[in-house]
């Protein structure tokens, strides 16, 4: 790569996060690392560090993602595709030891006619009304037929939860519906049952019926925020929260779901040019920023073609551990930043450093911000501890 704009990923941080997660929540057998969306923007190469740290299954959205991983990890490493795979490509899944999802009865009926050797997981629609089977009779029939199948191995069953159930009853309703839909099958005969993903997994006690968990955003250093009880306002919030939980008769949550994880993701660039701009001059397209004094403007070669959306206008980047504001609009391939005399050409710029605050500024989520950074940018993997 010839550009000096790239995504920096600290693999030691990823390893430490996963080890801390598994150490605290050690009562699962299967820790499924979700690496869809280019591993939430971190690049698929992080998979090898995940496996090294205790992840024993990987999950992706598409066959393209699965094949990218398969070329990086052992053929024995299981990979689950969470979305339906076009039946045209089932031979590839069979050959490459890639597990597929059965998310509708119609898909299942077409699949079994192919008579291919495969591993499958059944997706249950427990109320999210997206992918998944929502008829107990269909689930029972698939279960019974696959238990006796010599070609297709029923390895897993799972659902996806729409909420984390702190102050809403949708979470409990979905758990109840999952149990209702599977009441006529023996879950103990299915190798992997996975229901929780990152936030629900940390907040709620383990379900007796589940032995697997899908770890997504928590691996990358973004755990659900624990509820502080320090200070009058936080105490008042807790009283309101507890009252609502009692009124709704919600299931218990963990007393302590704080966990030591840190983000491993940064978007890095450098100062490519510096301009001296006079007082009352306009900067950039639209002439919507005007200087209020003589100032120095640094040009940084990163823009919306790299995934830095227009909403980042006005927030700060970090140069030499100091904050400097983006002035003018975000351009396709550059931003303009107001700096002081200490900044020079070639200085390292942390364009995205604090993923939570920078996502909030851009009115999005950390997941979306990281995944939106262009996969064409180089991912540089740092294998030493942050100072």
Whether the predicted pLDDT of 359 surpasses 90:
yes
Q: Supply 129's token pair.
A: 């009304």
Predicted local confidence at residue 257, as pLDDT = 84
246-261 pLDDT, tens digit each = 898 989 888 888 899 9
Under CATH, which number does the domain 11-248 receive?
3.20.20.10
Predicted local confidence at residue 16, as pLDDT = 97
CATH 2.40.37.10 domain extents, the chain: 265-382
CB 11 within 8 A of CB 264: yes
| Residue 250: partners with Cβ closer than 8 Å, 6 or more residues away | 165, 167, 169, 171, 172
Residue 197 CA to residue 183 CA, distance in Å, equals: 22
CATH 3.20.20.10 domain extents, the chain: 11-248
Predicted local confidence at residue 385, as pLDDT = 66
Whether the predicted pLDDT of 99 surpasses 90:
yes
Predicted local confidence at residue 1, as pLDDT = 62
Residue 179 CA to residue 157 CA, distance in Å, equals: 12
275-290 pLDDT, tens digit each = 999 999 999 898 889 9
Name the band, by pLDDT with cuts 50, 70 and 90, for residue 229.
Answer: low
Mean pLDDT of 64-77: 92
CB half-sphere exposure, 306, CA atoms < 13 A? 24
Least confident of 104-108, 288-292, 298-302: 288-292
Provide the percentage of residues in the chain whose pLDDT is more than 90: 83
181-207 pLDDT, tens digit each = 999 999 999 999 999 999 899 999 999
Residue where the block lists tokens 């605290």:
24
Backbone angle region of 127, left / alpha / beta, with phi > 0 → left and psi within -120 to 50 → alpha: left
Name the band, by pLDDT with cuts 50, 70 and 90, for residue 52.
Answer: very high
Name the band, by pLDDT with cuts 50, 70 and 90, for residue 46.
Answer: very high
Predicted local confidence at residue 314, as pLDDT = 93
Class of the CATH domain delimited by 265-382:
mainly beta
Q: How many CB atoms lie within 10 A of CB 278?
A: 9
For the chain, give the mean pLDDT: 93
pTM: 0.92
Provide the percentage of residues in the chain whose pLDDT is more than 70: 98
Predicted local confidence at residue 78, as pLDDT = 96
150-172 pLDDT, tens digit each = 899 999 999 999 998 888 899 99
Name the band, by pLDDT with cuts 50, 70 and 90, for residue 226.
Answer: confident
Mean pLDDT of 33-60: 96
CB 47 within 8 A of CB 65: no
Mean pLDDT of 339-361: 95
Predicted local confidence at residue 148, as pLDDT = 87
Nearest Cα to Cα of residue 192 among 244, 110, 122: 122
């Amino acid at each position: 790569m010839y550009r000096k704009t790239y995504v920096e990923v600290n693999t030691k941080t990823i390893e430490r996060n996963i080890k801390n997660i598994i150490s605290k929540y050690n009562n699962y057998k299967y820790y499924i690392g979700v690496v869809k969306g280019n591993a939430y923007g971190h690049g698929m190469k992080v998979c090898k560090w995940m496996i090294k740290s205790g992840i024993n299954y990987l999950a992706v959205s598409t066959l393209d993602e699965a094949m990218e991983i398969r070329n990086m990890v052992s053929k024995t490493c299981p990979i689950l595709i969470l979305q339906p795979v076009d039946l045209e490509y089932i031979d590839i899944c069979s050959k490459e030891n890639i597990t597929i999802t059965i998310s509708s009865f119609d898909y299942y009926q077409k699949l079994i006619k192919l008579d291919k050797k495969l591993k499958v997981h059944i997706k249950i629609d427990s109320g999210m009304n997206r992918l998944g089977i929502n008829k107990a009779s269909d689930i029972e029939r698939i279960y019974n037929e696959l238990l006796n199948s010599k070609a297709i191995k029923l390895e897993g069953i799972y659902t996806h939860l729409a909420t984390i159930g702190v102050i809403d009853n949708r979470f409990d309703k979905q758990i109840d519906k999952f149990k209702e839909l599977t009441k006529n099958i023996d879950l103990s005969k299915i190798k992997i049952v996975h229901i929780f993903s990152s936030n629900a997994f940390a907040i709620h006690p383990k379900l007796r019926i589940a032995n697997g968990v899908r770890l997504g955003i928590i691996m990358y250093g973004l755990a659900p925020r624990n509820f502080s009880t320090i200070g009058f306002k936080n105490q008042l919030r807790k009283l309101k929260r507890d009252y609502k939980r009692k009124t709704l008769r919600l299931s218990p949550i963990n007393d302590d779901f704080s966990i030591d994880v840190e983000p491993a993701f940064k978007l890095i660039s450098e100062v490519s040019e510096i301009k001296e701009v006079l007082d009352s001059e306009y900067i950039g397209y639209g002439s919507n920023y005007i200087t209020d004094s003589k100032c120095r403007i640094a040009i940084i070669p990163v823009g919306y073609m790299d995934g830095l959306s227009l909403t980042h206008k006005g927030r700060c980047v970090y140069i030499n551990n100091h904050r400097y504001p983006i002035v003018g609009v975000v351009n396709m391939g550059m931003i303009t930043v107001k700096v002081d005399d200490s900044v020079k050409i070639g200085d390292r710029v942390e364009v995205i450093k604090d993923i939570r605050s920078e996502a909030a500024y851009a009115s999005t989520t950390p997941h979306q911000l990281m995944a939106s950074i262009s996969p064409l940018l180089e991912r540089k993997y740092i294998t030493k501890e942050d100072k």
